[in-house]
Amino acid sequence: MTNDKEERIKQVDAWERQKAASLRYPTNDDSIGIEVVGAPEKNVYVSSTDAQNASSRWLVSELLMTLKLDRKRIFAHGSMDPRKFPTEGGMIAY
């Protein structure tokens, strides 16, 4: 059985999907997702490495330039899904 929190998430998702893409968080249907994962240790994700962060910054920069994307439409993975672990999907400045 679905709990109240999961049901609320589904309701918010359905409401958000009715908005124009530029006025809401993106969904898997209309976005590019890049996930950089640090090694898990005792059910906690450690920070990604400097090399992972540098690679991610390069990739995002190339996508912004090549696809002429708006930098304001970049969201940290952790801000997209409230079910993430506290250490998962941290913010990286682009």
The confidence score (pLDDT) of residue 26 equals: 78
Taking Cα atoms as reference points, which of 90, 68, 72, 70 lies closest to residue 80? 90
Cα(38)–Cα(81) distance, integer angstroms? 18
Q: What is the pLDDT of residues 19-34, one digit of tens each?
A: 987 788 777 788 888 8
The confidence score (pLDDT) of residue 91 equals: 54
Instruction: Name the one residue in this structure whose structure tokens are 């590019």.
Output: 32
Residues 90, 47 contacting (CB under 8 angstroms): yes
Q: What is the pLDDT of residues 52-75, one digit of tens each?
A: 889 989 999 999 999 998 888 887
For residues 36 and 78, the model is more confident at: 36
Q: What is the pLDDT confidence band of residue 87, given thresholds at 50, 70 and 90?
A: low
